[in-house]
Structure 1
């Protein structure tokens, strides 16, 4: 590694207030602090090292050892994230995300806290370990602003972090929608960690676009609708690109948002500016014959210094 390693212990010390406040899963070193070479996430006593450049085996081992030397780390896992990772994930999964630790002890499952809420994480499971920590401020907003007794629809739910926070806030109904049965079951495990009931009827398997149409035809409306799609995805209906298709998604979501309700729209596409994102959502609302105003704008947490990729806009619909 030709570049000198940053002082990981010093970067971790800057985040010392997070565990003290009940958050033990967070980013310990962001790419803006490592020259774009890597990022480091901590999940309890497991370290997850994400590489954004090609390193030799010796360089990888040296970096993993530096992560393992941090206080409280029992094992370190590696994620290789070349630009083409999203295309290679199905053919080179074990190379991109080795299932075992590259340093120290195995931690196949870890329970870590975010603002006091426990989440089940799997450091070696895949490129995504169970929680996207950059969205912590957005999940906190959901916990703070979900109307008691209200109806919440959480789409592209993944392991249901948004839905869980809405349920903890006292929502009357929370529906989580995702195209993966595996992550919905994982979400049910997260509910169980907080002692919440997780009936199968609240975890809807299938295509989000199809579900939005189905719910609209049934006349279902929600006080809060959460949209957290990937930037890019391939599916039966073709290729989804946030910069091209988000307006259509927003239009469908508007069809199930109650008058006076809120639409929480997120994108993690670094190439879509906040202004362009606002235009996409505005176009979608217009297509649905709805009007809205932005009542809040949110971004990545403080452990992502300089990050601009995550945009979250809260729209109140008329």
Structure 2
């Protein structure tokens, strides 16, 4: 039996929760209240007049200590609750399930679908659950039962994206069904991608960039010399090559990116030997390219929010203008830069200020021709704007 703990919210933060903000911030509760909590406890949040605000669970996740899941005081957070939420989310993705060209997408997106701390992705019959705290992980059996009742899956997999010290860990990420023979080949807008759900934190593709990859393929790639930085498994490069790029260059520091990128090209019938795949630091590559007076018509910048090498650290919050300036220097006049970030700590307005700063510092004219946020399956709520984390702008260099 789970314990229910009542938390009195600091008046400074109670108003946002009453308006629908779902995350209970650590600074909104007292140290004494925190000391009473164990991950997975049911929490009832009240204002300083003891008026009920909402009910949820305790789970430490970034700056939060729990999520409000319901504003109904008598709501039980039981099997029926989880099944109903997941069933609604599946119904909202009906068009995706019926799409012949795409069979990988997000079917449950945390608080956007009513349960913060949980995401579920679909890969052609395989479901992958991601848990962002020990608190939500304690509801694991409810989610598994709901998926078992509501779907016909090949297998369920999971990723524990929280500190698991002291927890029993399975040998792999397989949960139920028939284990997959990885990599499996999924389709996205008619392009093949290899994914592995049982190989650490990453799967081989970031599903939130689906619309951006399609746009590169359909509108910007033809006839270009394309550079894909922080390229991971080369998904943007594949989209560009299929879209008619004359050549793609993929650059990533991780040694495994070479084999993974070769694999992605190969499953689409593209000769990887005609492409350029570099395992090296992106900032070193910028210097190399500038030194050799190399120019690109299309440059993709999709760095991690934070990265550290032996010689430097990179944070999008402070270093993105420097990254853009390096890209501007090797972009052809009238060429395009696709600038992207998944850093949730700032919004699109701030991101565009980074763009403006970089172009002003290099005395270069530009225009933003398109912009993207999260795709339709990554549902977000107006009350929690920072969860709409993806920011992508297509920039044309004019001078």
Provide TM-score, normalisation by structure 1: 0.91
Is residue 2:142 matched to residue 1:62?
A: yes
Is residue 2:104 matched to residue 1:30?
A: no
The aligned length equals: 310
Per the TM alignment, residue 158 of structure 1 is displaced from its structure 2 partner at its CA by 0.8
Q: Retained in 2: the 8 A contact 1:98–1:124? A: no
Q: 1:99 aligns with which of 160, 172, 177?
A: 172
Q: Retained in 2: the 8 A contact 1:110–1:121? A: yes
Separation (CA, whole Å) in 1 of partners of 2:85 and 2:347? 32
Secondary structure, counterpart of 2:249 in structure 1: strand
Separation (CA, whole Å) in 1 of partners of 2:219 and 2:270? 19
What corresponds to 1:15 in structure 2?
Answer: 93
> Looking at both structures, which has the greater relative contact order when contacts are Cα pairs under 8 Å and sequence separation is at least 6?
1
Separation (CA, whole Å) in 2 of partners of 1:177 and 1:250? 16
Which piece of structure 1 moves more, 269-278 or 3-12?
Answer: 3-12
Note closer, same or farther for the CA distance 1:299–1:98 as it changes in structure 2 (3 Å cut).
farther
Separation (CA, whole Å) in 2 of partners of 1:171 and 1:250? 22
Per the TM alignment, residue 46 of structure 1 is displaced from its structure 2 partner at its CA by 1.3
What corresponds to 1:51 in structure 2?
Answer: 131
What corresponds to 2:249 in structure 1?
Answer: 175
* Structure 1 residue runs without a partner (length 5+): none
Which piece of structure 1 moves more, 118-127 or 200-209?
Answer: 200-209
What corresponds to 1:148 in structure 2?
Answer: 222
Deviation sequence 1:15-60 (CA, Å, 0-9, x none): 1222433111100011111321301001112111011231487632
Note closer, same or farther for the CA distance 1:57–1:249 as it changes in structure 2 (3 Å cut).
closer
What corresponds to 1:216 in structure 2?
Answer: 290
Separation (CA, whole Å) in 1 of partners of 2:357 and 2:191? 36
* Structure 2 residue runs without a partner (length 5+): 1-39, 43-76, 381-386
Separation (CA, whole Å) in 1 of partners of 2:126 and 2:238? 23
Separation (CA, whole Å) in 1 of partners of 2:207 and 2:242? 19
State which structure, 1 or 2, has the greater radius of gyration over its C-alpha atoms: 2
Separation (CA, whole Å) in 2 of partners of 1:194 and 1:13? 31
What corresponds to 1:297 in structure 2?
Answer: 371
Note closer, same or farther for the CA distance 1:312–1:171 as it changes in structure 2 (3 Å cut).
same
Note closer, same or farther for the CA distance 1:109–1:98 as it changes in structure 2 (3 Å cut).
farther
Separation (CA, whole Å) in 1 of partners of 2:98 and 2:296? 35
Q: 2:195 aligns with which of 108, 121, 132?
A: 121
Separation (CA, whole Å) in 2 of partners of 1:49 and 1:113? 20
What corresponds to 2:37 in structure 1?
Answer: none
Which piece of structure 1 moves more, 8-17 or 302-311?
Answer: 8-17
Q: Retained in 2: the 8 A contact 1:232–1:242? A: yes
Which piece of structure 1 moves more, 50-59 or 236-245?
Answer: 50-59
Secondary structure, counterpart of 2:308 in structure 1: strand
Note closer, same or farther for the CA distance 1:147–1:233 as it changes in structure 2 (3 Å cut).
closer
Per the TM alignment, residue 150 of structure 1 is displaced from its structure 2 partner at its CA by 1.1
Provide TM-score, normalisation by structure 2: 0.73
Per the TM alignment, residue 147 of structure 1 is displaced from its structure 2 partner at its CA by 4.0
Separation (CA, whole Å) in 2 of partners of 1:118 and 1:68? 28
What corresponds to 1:259 in structure 2?
Answer: 333
Separation (CA, whole Å) in 2 of partners of 1:147 and 1:58? 46
Separation (CA, whole Å) in 2 of partners of 1:208 and 1:57? 36
Is residue 2:242 matched to residue 1:242?
A: no
Per the TM alignment, residue 233 of structure 1 is displaced from its structure 2 partner at its CA by 1.4
Separation (CA, whole Å) in 2 of partners of 1:194 and 1:137? 19
Deviation sequence 1:271-315 (CA, Å, 0-9, x none): 121111111122222333322111111111100112510000111
Q: 2:161 aligns with which of 76, 81, 102?
A: 81
